[in-house]
Amino acid sequence: MPIVTVTSTLPSPPAAFTGRDGELGALSEALDPSTHGSPDAILITAVGGLGGVGKTALALQAAHATRARFPGGALFINMRGYDRAPVAPEEAVLSFLRAFGVRGEDAPIAPEDRYSLYRSLLDSRASMLIFLDNVSEAAQVVPLLPGSTRHRVPVTSDCRAADSPWALWPSSVGRISTLVCAAVAFS
């Protein structure tokens, strides 16, 4: 039986974060688990923009600013979506299971069973923040979505890429894109 140990796997907040008060406020508000959208949809809050403009710094700042709103804890993973070897969701879920105290030998072998265990562990907890950094495609996100609408999923992505899940978002060189919140309906 897994021992639930996670409180937060968030990296430290940026030491020298300045400006972007408007974006920080909007993101913090969007992450609020007491804000309910559709009762049958998971709220994904995404920050897109060119590489190096501060997407992760902004989202981490917001995550730390809102951390107290997530008594169930916070999970973080860099999906390395634009590296030569991006993190597959099958690897990411193992990282999350370890954060929950599931030892490697106790993790299910089949990816679908890993996702089921992950969602069961999430379902047994109060609101959690599940931060997916540097995502390059929707296929990296969908398997890691919780089965409950009380959790929040901030995602960062380089929206320049034509195959990016966020390619339709407006962006401008050197700036962070308009903050977009998307509700993903359960299927």
What pLDDT, in 10s, does the model give residues 95-104? 999 999 999 8
pLDDT at residue 179 tops 70: no
pLDDT at residue 19 tops 80: no
pTM for the full model?
0.81
**CA separation for the pair 49, 157 (Å, rounded):** 7
Provide the pLDDT for residue 38.
57
Provide the pLDDT for residue 4.
53
Neighbouring residues of 151: CB distance < 8 A, sequence distance ≥ 6: 33, 42, 72, 122, 127, 128, 129, 130
pLDDT at residue 157 tops 50: yes
Q: What is the mean pLDDT of residues 69-96?
A: 94
